[in-house]
Structures are given as C-alpha cells and as structure tokens.
Amino acid sequence: MIRIGNASGFYGDRSAAWREMLEGGPLDVLTGDYLAELTMLILGRDRLKDPSLGYARTFLRQMEECLGLAAERGVRIVTNAGGLNPAGLATALRSLAARLGLSTSIGYVEGDALDRPGALAANAYLGAFGIASCLTAGADVVVTGRVTDASLVVGPAIAHYGWTRDDLDALAGATVAGHVLECGAQATGGNFSFFTELPDGGRRPGFPIAEVHADGSAVITKHPGTGGAVTVETVTAQLVYEIAASAYPGPDVVTHLDTVRLAQEAPDRVRVTGTRGTPHRPLSRSASPASTATATR
C-alpha cells in the first residue's frame, strides 16, 4: 500500500499540522490543500501587487521547518499551494532548499490558467496525471495550481501503482480516498454533526491518512494519540460533503459514490471498498486545458 496523509484543508489551516503529521508516524506522501474560490481571489490580489507572488505563502513558511524533516523521513510532499503561480512557488522552494543545504527535487504542474480578459483569475480543474508524472520523474515535492482536491491523493497512487487512464475503478477508489482527505480534519470529526460525542469532544482532531491499495480500495485512519475519531459516521459526513449527485465527475474518472462501501475495521480505521468508475466526458479539444509537469532540482 501507499500511505498518504493530509496536513491542510484550507489556506490558514493549523500551521503546526505539517510537523505534527511528519513526526506522528510513518507516511509515504503528505498532502496539503490550500485552494478555494476565496483563496484564488486573495492570491489574485497578491499577484497584482507583485507578479512573483500568487501562491500560498504560509506553505513556504511551513516548509522552513518541515522540508528537511520530510527529506529525513523519506516523505514526499504534494500540494496545490502553487495557486496562480506554481512555477513561482517552485522557484521559492528551490531557493529555500539551497539555503537549508538540501538536495530536494521540486516538480510543478501548470496549465490550469484560462485567458479571460478582465478577470482577476480564471482556472480549470486539472486531474492527477501531471502530479504522477512529476513523482515518476523523481520529484520530492510537487506543487500545483488548480487541480481537483482529490488529485493530491490520486496522483501519488497513480505513480506508485502505475495505473493508466483505463484503470477506472482504481482511479475512482483513490478519488474517494482523496475526497475524504481533502478537507483535513473534517474527516476525523470536524465535519461530524455529533462531534461533541467523540472521545475528546472533537476539540483538536488529528489529520487523516489514507492507506491506498493497488485496487483503489483504502483504509482511512489517523496517527495514534491524535484527537477526534475515524468512524463510519465521520467518514460518511465528509464523503457526502460538496457533492451534487451520486455520479461524482472529475477530469480523470466519474466516481460512482453509490457503489462505495464503508466498514469499521478497527478503532480509528475505516475500510473503503467497492468503488466503481466510468470514463469522464472530456471537453472539446479547443476548450480542454493541458497540464504541463516539470521536475527540477
């Protein structure tokens, strides 16, 4: 399996979560989601003031103390903190790595920006294969612009197992795992209506982890000793968050959420199985954005 954690569900989430997740137990990949519509507005205004900006600067500050720790632990990092300027964040990370004396390979994915005159920002959601390309090329850190939130988990799984675009059920299963993880501690009680009934009252939930298997099935869990809980109920609460129908469309696969089966395997371990996927309906060639993945040291 590949063990993928999350350390951020939004721009401004718990600053210490990256270090907590790196120190809390074994991981293969640590992801962080920073982007929402309001965030894109904030980053667009930053870029107006300084064209070299347009990315989540808090992520760069978090990496000041965590980039070396991730390298030491052998954990790769994948994040959409690149916002409107993933190449700019990659450049800043290279400078940071050099200053810290680290030989860190930085990859970035772009191609989501659309030309809309007069708009502060216009972006299309990209899928997971650009992320996978960077990881396959040897990137230790991958930063992206606007990709689907679940792609931060799907991309590492593609790279790990060598899935192709025809492995629809596996892609759909990983998409479910990514959707559960994408909002951070929402999956461990933060999005659960009865959070006060959790063992610690839901006061400081830990961040979630997905153990993704070769068939796309997964176990959702968290580091031992962290707050909140991982139950069928907390996972369900996040699973139905921000969906419009049982057929959940994405750039790489349509995930059929009515096929998902959840089971409590052990305390703080929920197994996710049965997910089916079907091909997405692509945009016309003229309208479909193309991702570009680059890995540099």
**pLDDT, tens digit, 9 for 90 and up, residues 55-100:** 999 999 999 999 999 999 999 999 999 999 999 999 999 999 999 9
Question: To the nearest 10°, the Cα dihedral for 276, 127, 250, 182?
Answer: 80
Cα separation, 185 vs 256, in Å, equals: 24
Indicate the number of domains in the chain.
1
pTM: 0.94
pLDDT digits (tens, 9 = 90+) for 123-182: 999 999 999 999 999 999 999 999 999 999 999 999 999 999 999 999 999 999 999 999
Category of 295 on φ-ψ map: left (φ > 0), alpha (ψ -120 to 50) or beta: beta
Q: Grade residue 5 by pLDDT with cuts at 50, 70 and 90.
A: very high
Cα separation, 107 vs 193, in Å, equals: 39
Domain assignment of residue 138, given as a range: 2-296
DSSP H/E element including 219 = strand 218-222
- In the chain, what percentage of residues exceed pLDDT 70? 94
Residue 229 reports pLDDT greater than 80: yes
Can you list the pairs that 266-269 forms with residues at least 24 positions away whose Cβ atoms lie under 8 Å? 268/221, 268/222, 268/229, 268/230, 268/231, 269/219, 269/220, 269/221, 269/230
Cα separation, 127 vs 124, in Å, equals: 10
Summarize the confidence of residues 23-44 as an average pLDDT.
96
Lookup: tokens for 165: 């675009």
